[in-house]
Amino acid sequence: MTPVDTDKEFSVFDSMAARFDVAAQKLGVNDGLCKYLRTPNREIIVHIPVLMDNGRMEIFDGFRVQHSIARGPCKGGLRYGPNVTLDEIRGLAAEMTWKCAVVNIPFGGAKGGIICDPERLSQAELEKLTRRYTAEILDYIGPERDVPAPDMNTNEQTMAWIMDTYSMHVRHTVTASVTGKPLDLGGSLGRHSATGRGCMIVADQALKRFGRERQRTRVIVQGFGNVGSEAARLMHEAGYKIIGVADIHSGVLNTNGLDVPELLEYARVNKTLEDFPEAEPVGSQEILEQDCDVLVPAATENVITSRNAGRVKARILVEGANSPTTPPADAILFDRGVFVVPDILANAGGVTVSYFEWVQDRQGYFWPEGMVNERLKHIQVAAFNDVVRYGEKHNVHNRIAAYMLAIDRVALTLKLRGIYA
Ligand code: NAD
């Protein structure tokens, strides 16, 4: 195997840029436009003071990177975690631009993050942190500017605090200022399960290509948070055999199929997957190498790398997480014939239903869940077909095809708009 520059392999921005460069070159995008498309519009760094429950003051670092407003307001999640970095947020912000373009919704891309350990913060501390972060970036967000959504370690409650803080400052309630809100605050039916549902929609399309049935398809899901648990739940309901699931601490495996509703209840009550009856224990990382047909990494980035890609046994990879596969791993998977549904297509269900939520909030008129799910399916199936056709036409694998499709769409809007000087 060729030696790999590990630092570079694990930089989310470098991974994005490497794929961007290949796709842009294949499209023949000129150097100037390439520079423009690759560079974020704006990067905001804030230092957030929080008076902790014990009376001490702590300062947390937070970021919001707005990559592009070429196709509409910025859209992107907000994540909390001890290892959040500006590099990662910068890379994920650009990926949001490409993701919105792949599913052809009128948004640009952004991403936010705060370096903190949410497991060690009380609800009161999390609320103060979220509200002060919102106040610090207030001039740069809003329904026409940049609309945050949940991501790792943030949820509906986090979005409610952001919406309330924003609304207090502008002196009226602005439900469209965030998406992924609680239903009672203008959230959309179907948003909570949208990313997981999207993973199932693209998995179904991949099965169709291989003439496979759900009932004969064994699935492993890494990550049991919003995306992973909803993907597992919906795929189990639809007839797939979920044989393995893991969170950050541990995993469980049963080659006869796990009872996912029971596992969800077990995890809710015990706050762990460990010791779930009728399953073998398996490590959170080792689970990626177990025998299965469809692998859904739905936890975090850089889990499939040059070191383990050769041991992935799945034939279909559905990337629920953002950037779970590094570029050197892409090459290994491609050589081994793994059909990869890349993140910017596979997990675009979340941002698509966020778009529906934003539309509903702005209209003040809410859709039934069946309509949300139907429209999501329509958009994601069309995007899947667009990407696969693009790949066949240009003789590239799905990830580069998805990037090419996205870059083509964003570049067209930039050409039409011109450069304001
Ligand atoms: P979450 O915080 O709800 O859940 C994350 C899950 O992953 C948890 O079960 C956690 O224990 C597990 N995990 C974290 N690190 C792990 C590791 N190293 N090994 C195994 N498990 C690990 O987050 P989420 O919202 O479900 O997001 C998961 C991924 O999906 C992220 O990459 C996120 O950017 C991406 N994503 C989320 C959405 C969304 O709508 N929430 C949309 C698109 C993409």
Q: 3-state SS of 20-80? A: HHHHHHHHCCCHHHHHHHHCCCEEEEEEEEEECCCCCEEEEEEEEEEEECCCCCEEEEEEE
Calpha distance 47→136 (Å, rounded): 9
Best residue among 103, 111, 300 to mutate for probing ligand 1, ranked by most atoms within 8 Å of CB: 300
Q: Of all atoms in ligand 1, which is nearest to the CA of residue 301?
A: 32
- The number of beta carbons lying within 10 Å of the beta carbon of residue 118 is 17
What pLDDT, on a 0 to 100 scale, did the predictor assign at position 222?
A: 98
User: What is the mean predicted confidence (pLDDT) over 144-159?
Assistant: 97
* Residue 111 appears among annotated catalytic residues: yes
Calpha distance 109→406 (Å, rounded): 12
Three-state SS at 364: coil
What pLDDT, on a 0 to 100 scale, did the predictor assign at position 8?
A: 77
Write down the domain spans for the chain.
Answer: 41-178, 194-346
Distance, CA 248 to ligand 1 centroid (Å)?
9
15-46: per-residue pLDDT in tens? 999 999 999 999 999 999 999 999 999 999 99
What pLDDT, on a 0 to 100 scale, did the predictor assign at position 3?
A: 41
Distance, CA 394 to ligand 1 centroid (Å)?
32
Residue bearing the CA closest to ligand 1, atom 40: 350
User: What is the mean predicted confidence (pLDDT) over 270-298?
Assistant: 97
313-363: per-residue pLDDT in tens? 999 999 999 999 999 999 999 999 999 999 999 999 999 999 999 999 999
379-401: per-residue pLDDT in tens? 999 999 999 999 999 999 999 99
Distance, CA 225 to ligand 1 centroid (Å)?
6
Is the per-residue pLDDT at 150 higher than 70? yes
Calpha distance 50→69 (Å, rounded): 31
Q: Measure CA 121 to chain center.
A: 24
Residue 393: Cβ-neighbour burial (10 angstroms; 0-12, 13-18, 19+): exposed
- Asked if the domains 41-178 and 194-346 are classified in one and the same CATH topology, the answer is yes
Calpha distance 276→365 (Å, rounded): 43
Residue bearing the CA closest to ligand 1, atom 19: 248
**Which one-letter amino acid corresponds to residue 382?**
A
Q: Of all atoms in ligand 1, which is nearest to the CA of residue 343?
A: 44
User: What is the mean predicted confidence (pLDDT) over 280-298?
Assistant: 98
Q: What is the chain's length?
A: 421
Distance, CA 263 to ligand 1 centroid (Å)?
18
CA angle 340, 247, 66 (to 5 degrees): 60
User: What is the mean predicted confidence (pLDDT) over 352-377?
Assistant: 98
Q: 3-state SS of 215-268? A: HHCEEEEECCCHHHHHHHHHHHHHCCEEEEEECCCCEEECCCCCCHHHHHHHHH
Q: What are the beta bridge partners of residue 222?
A: 246, 297
Is the per-residue pLDDT at 402 higher than 70? yes
User: What is the mean predicted confidence (pLDDT) over 228-233?
Assistant: 98
Largest CA distance in the chain: 65
What pLDDT, on a 0 to 100 scale, did the predictor assign at position 342?
A: 98
Is the per-residue pLDDT at 5 higher than 90? no
Distance, CA 364 to ligand 1 centroid (Å)?
31
> From the candidates 99, 111, 128, 377, which is the catalytic residue?
111
Calpha distance 144→197 (Å, rounded): 27
Cβ 357 vs Cβ 334: under 8 Å: no
Q: How confident is the model at residue 216 (pLDDT cuts 50, 70, 90)?
A: very high
Residue bearing the CA closest to ligand 1, atom 31: 321
Which CA distances in Å does 63 have to 13, 105, 114?
15, 24, 6
Calpha distance 137→63 (Å, rounded): 9
CATH superfamily of 194-346: NAD(P)-binding Rossmann-like Domain (3.40.50.720)
49-76: per-residue pLDDT in tens? 999 999 999 999 999 999 999 999 999 9
Fold designation for 41-178: Rossmann fold (3.40.50)
Calpha distance 352→98 (Å, rounded): 13
What pLDDT, on a 0 to 100 scale, did the predictor assign at position 6?
A: 59
Helix (H) or strand (E) holding 294: strand 294-297
Return the residue matching tokens 């996912």. Answer: 260
Q: What are the beta bridge partners of residue 115?
A: 81
Calpha distance 115→102 (Å, rounded): 30
Is the per-residue pLDDT at 101 higher than 90? yes
Q: How confident is the model at residue 264 (pLDDT cuts 50, 70, 90)?
A: very high
- The number of beta carbons lying within 10 Å of the beta carbon of residue 30 is 10
Reading the block at residue 234, the tokens are 């919906």
Which CA distances in Å does 313 have to 136, 222, 226, 290?
46, 14, 25, 7
Residue bearing the CA closest to ligand 1, atom 36: 321
Q: Of all atoms in ligand 1, which is nearest to the CA of residue 223?
A: 7
* Residues lining ligand 1, Cβ inside 6 A: 77, 150-153, 195, 222-228, 246-248, 284, 298-300, 320-322, 347, 350
Distance, CA 194 to ligand 1 centroid (Å)?
14
- Give the CA count within 13 Å in the CB-facing half-sphere of 357: 33
